[in-house]
Structure formats: C-alpha cells, structure tokens
Structure 1
Amino acid sequence: MQEAIMLFFLNIANPVLDFLANIASAVGEQTFVIAVILYVFYNYDKKKGFALFTSVLFAVLGMGILKAIVRAPRPFQVLQSIDGKRLETATGYSFPSGHTTTGAAFYTALALTFKKRPLSILCAVMMALVGLSRLYLGVHWPIDVFAGLLLGVAISFVVSHYLNALYDDKQKRIRLSIWIGTLSFIAGTITAILLNLGLIDEVAFTDLMKVFALGGGGYLGFALENVKVNFVVQEKRSKQILRYVIGLIGILLFMGAKAIIPESLYAVGAFMRYTLVGFWATGLYPLIGKNLRLFAGSR
C-alpha cells in the first residue's frame, strides 16, 4: 500500500508540481518557523511567541527521539524507482517525518494561539501540504507523514492546555525556563561529545542534538530576558521592523557559521551554533537591544 502511494506521486511528477512541493516543504522547515516565531515574540505577543516555541520544540524533541529509536530507512533508500528530491533536507532517519511534525506542531499552535477561524483553516491546509510535499518529494513514507501529523497536533494541544496558566505566573515561568534550558543544554552537550567521539549513530542523533541545543539556548534566553529585560512589544512600527531584522540577521549569521568550524569539531560546533541561535533570539539580543533602545523594558 505504501509503495503504491509513493509510485502514484512518482507518476504525476512534473516541473510545476516539483516547484510547488519545494515551497510547501519549505514552510515546514526550521528557518521559516523560527522567523515567524521570532516576529510574534518580538513584535506581537511574547506569551504567544513562548507558546509557539514550546509547542514546536517539544514536538520536534519527541520526533527526534522516535527517529533515534525506530531508525527506519527512507523511500529513496528502499525503492530503486524513487530518486528523492530536496535531499539536503532529508537528514536523519525516516520515521516520523520531521517536516510534517514541525509543520503540524507549528500550525496547530498558531491556530490555538490566535483562535481565528480563517487562520485555523489556513493552518490546517498548510500542515496537510507540508505532509503531502514530503510524499511527493520521495523522502518519506505515508506512515511517516501520518505519525508526524499525529505527534505534532497532539503535543501542541497538550502544551497549549497547560501553558497559559503557567506563563501568567512570572516566577514559575522563569523556573520552568531555567530547568528545561539546563536539562536540554546538558543533554545536548553529552550528545555532541559522544557524536564527536564516534560513539553513537550520527544519523540517529545529530538532529536530536541540535534540538537539545536550540531548546537549551532558547529557554535560558527566556529566563535571562524575564529577569534582565522584560521588554514590551508595543513600539513604533519602524523600530519593530528594525529590531526584527537585526535579530533575524543574527540568527542567520550563527547558523551560517558552520563554514568556519573545523570538520573535526562538527558535532560540538553544531551544538554551539544552535545553542547560540536560541540564546541570541530569546535573551542575549533583547538584552543588547535594550541598551541600544531597540527594546523598551516594562515598568
């Protein structure tokens, strides 16, 4: 059955659908998702930005653990007729689909956070398109996509249910951020060292290590921002755009620093980059930006 579905997508393939599938896949990738969450956090509503970040992170963490346990091969590795497209995004094992999990968690959280019917319909369409694009591109089996949808939606609902009351208590919010950030940082550090020593499966654990790093940096950054900055999102539109663009450029620079890291430190280097991405976005940049008058602290 799964092979028949994969062959169906192979038979309808054409340049136009290739283009559309690449776009649909891109809106379920980390760069796009981070960019949207960053805008919400800086310029719309910090609580909503925190909720989006937490939903996506927990879903992707669960996905990474499942990938490391199941270690299923991808369709293009099993079926000779499928070459696979957009292979640079097909990292790690196949089950469950990382793009679908990320997209399902992000768009579900977006719908639950803003509670606007037109947006909810759009979010449902977007997560379906992300999943279908991974089938069309030949990088995931149908069961991978189904599991990713289920995992992403379920975790977003659970996180949304418990997060609102927790966030409103500042001290609990800070303690939660410190605990999750510290545990993620420790787990990521251990995983990166084991990867660099060649003691664990690179395919299974590299992406999971990056999630730990992003979570560690991001949550410790949240704690720092709450204690030292506590900025307000209300600001002149020109200043909002400027602080968002500078923050995004910083993230892209950290992510692009891969080129200057020695190959011998590939895992530790990746851990450092993703930790800095999270810490910069949620804590370090707002702290620097406060001194530059890009972020105004609440009274």
Structure 2
Amino acid sequence: MSLEMLNFQLFGLINASANPNPFLVKFAIFISHDLVTIFVIGLLALTFFRPKRFKIPAIKAAVFTAITSIIAALIDKFYYHPRPFALNLGHKLIHHAATNSFPSHHMLAMSSMALAFLLFSREKLVGSICLALAWLVGWSRVYLGVHFPVDIIGAFLLALFINILGNLVLCKYLEFRESQQKPSTHI
C-alpha cells in the first residue's frame, strides 16, 4: 500500500461522517479556529507575567515558529498537494480555499511553539500541555475535512527538526561567543 493510499484511508477514519454529531463539529471548529489564538495569547501571557525562565523558551518558540512558517511558505511555492475536498474526499465542514494542503500551517505553528517549551526548558508540563493541544488542533483539521493526516504528521516532524536544529545552532553560537569573550591565556 502506498503512503498516499494509507493517507486517504486514515483520512477516511478521522474525517467527520455524513451526519456528524453537532456538538463534536462545534468543538472541532473551536479547536481549529479559536484554540490557536488562545494558545498564542496564553504563551504570551506566561512570558510576560511569569518568572524569567519563560522568556528564553518563548523567544525560541517565536524564532523557530517564524522559521517554520518561512519554510512552509517556500513549500507552498514549490510543491502542491491538494486538500481532501479538492479531491472530492470526505466531508468539508468549514470554508477553506483549495490551497496547498502540506504541511498544515496550524499544526506547524502549534507544534513549533510547544516543542520549544517541551524540549528546551524546565517547563515540561507547559510543553506537554501545549503539545497535546497541538495534536488536538491537528485532529480537528482532519476531522473538519481540510487536511490529510500526513499534513499533520509532516508539520509536526518539520517543527521538531527546526526546533532541534535551531537549538543546536544556538548552542554552538553561544559557545563560540563565550569563547571569544574569554581573555586569552597565551603570552
């Protein structure tokens, strides 16, 4: 079975039925649209109103999310994968343009912010909650019919890669900067 066929089958399992539960639809729409905004406001509030230890992960989250957004824009420019509804698959429950499906920008941003806290700070609980919310957003995008599962998984993996690579580059830069600031011991 090809990856594309597996993607279509998983989409069929997650996407809403022809007669979905109205409460579940409203919940998914809230998660898909409003939770992202609440998430960003919540992280900003933590950054400004909590101890200093939130500032560095928040800065990393902002920078890494900006980088992933630029990469996603480049992917959009050079690669097109249709959304499920553009292929007449499943049930689309929200309005969305037939733009590139891969990767999910919602999942990419949410994952990138969450991973900055989960992987590179002492705030593991905050990071874990944020990552769970990111996956909930990913589920909602598939359930509502605007993304495939591979769009969600790909977005997560891209966010993970950029967070790890970005943190390595930052650590190397800080090591280099520190070594340049030490007085020379050579005579």
Name the CA distance, whole Å, in 2 between partners of 1:151 and 1:4. Answer: 23
1:119, 1:80 → 2: CA distance?
36
- Structure 2 residue 116 is matched with structure 1 residue 109: yes
Question: Which amino acid in the other structure matches residue 85 of structure 1?
Answer: L
Gapped regions of structure 2 (runs ≥ 5): 1-5, 178-187
Show structure 1 runs of 4+ deviating over 4 A: 164-169
What's the counterpart of residue 94 of structure 2? 86
Identify if the C-alpha distance between structure 1 residues 28 and 63 changes in structure 2 by more than 3 Å, giving closer, same or farther. Answer: farther
Q: CA deviation at 1:72?
A: 1.5
- Unpaired runs of at least 5, structure 1: 170-299
Residue 16 of structure 2 aligns to a residue in which SS? helix
Relative contact order higher in (CA < 8 Å, ≥ 6 apart)? 2
CA distance in 2, matches of 1:114, 1:108: 9
Alpha-carbon displacement from aligned partner over 1:20-48 (angstroms, at most 9, x marks no partner): 2223323663x345424433443344433
Q: Are the aligned partners of 1:28 and 1:99 in contact in 2 as well (CA < 8 Å)? A: no
Q: Does 1:147 align with 2:154?
A: yes
Structure 1 residue 18: Cα displacement: 1.1
Would the aligned equivalents of 1:76 and 1:139 in 2 still touch at CA under 8 Å? yes
Does residue 159 in structure 1 map to residue 158 in structure 2?
no
1:54 aligns with 2:63: yes
Q: How much has 1:14 moved relative to structure 2?
A: 1.5
What is the aligned-residue RMSD (CA, Å)?
2.8
Q: Are residues 1:126 and 2:130 paired? A: no
* Distance (Å, rounded) in 2 between the aligned partners of 1:137 and 1:52: 27
Find the counterpart in structure 1 of residue 81 from structure 2: 72
Alpha-carbon distance between aligned partners in 1 of 2:139 and 2:66, rounded to the nearest angstrom = 22
Comparing both structures, which one devotes a greater share of its residues to helix? 1
TM-score normalised to structure 1 length = 0.48
Instruction: Summarize the Cα distance change of 1:81–1:133 in structure 2 as closer, same or farther, 3 Å threshold.
Output: closer
Q: TM-score, normalising length from structure 2?
A: 0.73
Per-residue CA deviation, residues 223-275 of structure 1 (Å, 9 max, x unaligned), is xxxxxxxxxxxxxxxxxxxxxxxxxxxxxxxxxxxxxxxxxxxxxxxxxxxxx
CA contact (8 A) 1:99 1:131 kept: yes
The number of aligned residues is: 166
1:28–1:102 Cα contact (<8 Å) kept = no
Alignment of 1:10-21 (within 5 A): 10-11=16-17, 13-21=20-28
Change (3 A) 1:149 1:13: farther
Residue 107 of structure 1 deviates from its aligned partner by: 1.0
- The one-character-per-residue Cα deviations of 1:51-88 (angstroms, maximum 9, x if unpaired) are 11101111121112112211221111111552x23325
Q: Which residue is 1:38 aligned to?
A: 44
Looking at structure 1, the residues matched to 58 and 172 of structure 2 have their Cα atoms a distance apart, in angstroms, of 15
Instruction: Please say if 1:2 is aligned against 2:7.
Output: yes
Query: Quick check: 1:37–1:52 contact (8 Å CA) kept in 2?
Result: no
- Partner secondary structure for residue 87 of structure 1: coil
Distance 1:28 1:98, change over 3 A: farther
